[in-house]
Amino acid sequence: MQNQLSCNQVIALMSFYVEDKLNSRLKEYVDDHLRNCPECRKVYMQSKKIMPHIISLTENLNDSEYQTKQYEDFKLNLSAYIDNELDEHESIRIKKIAISNPLARKDLEDMYTFKRLLHNSFDRTKTEWKNDCSKTVMHKLTDNATAAKKDPLTGIIFGFSALISIIVLGFIAALYF
Ligand SMILES: [Zn+2]
């Protein structure tokens, strides 16, 4: 029975070996070879170090592709979701995407903020209109009052009479003291 693998064969099997994807017989052959071949053992040690990075890299690639698809799905359904036009199953799906995908979550938040702003500005126009009516009346009243105070002619007359009283008082004072 031939159970000796060549170095090339072991190198070819290395990634499967590291990922533990060989059947038990092949795995034993590689084990045997590695025990006796320092060169291949070195390659094995390096592969073992690198492999987790490679795996996570490919997982991230798959993830981002999956997330992009999810996000497209999410964007297509976002306004319907906000307007409660989705059935229960669909709205749960959109909710799940919003929870797992930060981009989607931000979109949803923005959408809600936007809606709230719209709602607020509508409310504001209603109350502001009421305020404006009372404000206009108040403004007219206060404007009249301040206008009377700030009337330039009134100021001049007041100033002039003050000046005259000082002069008259000074004259009287000069006469009697
Ligand atoms: Zn070898």
| pLDDT per position as a tens digit, 115-144 | 666 666 656 666 666 666 555 655 665 565
Distance (Å) from CA 136 to ligand 1 centroid: 95
Distance (Å) from CA 46 to ligand 1 centroid: 14
Sign (positive/negative) of CA torsion 66, 71, 77, 82? positive
Distance (Å) from CA 8 to ligand 1 centroid: 7
Condensed to tens digits (0 to 9), the pLDDT of residues 60-87 reads 766 777 778 888 888 888 878 878 889 9
DSSP code, position 23: -
Distance (Å) from CA 38 to ligand 1 centroid: 7
Q: Which residues lie at CB < 5 A from ion ligand 1?
A: 7, 37, 40
Planar angle of CA 160, 164, 168, nearest 5 degrees: 175
The mean pLDDT of the chain is 77
d(CA 102, CA 99): 7
When pLDDT is cut at 50, 70 and 90, the band that residue 166 belongs to is confident
Can you give the pTM of this predicted structure?
0.37
Distance (Å) from CA 24 to ligand 1 centroid: 19
Averaged pLDDT, 108-113:
76
pLDDT, position 1: 43
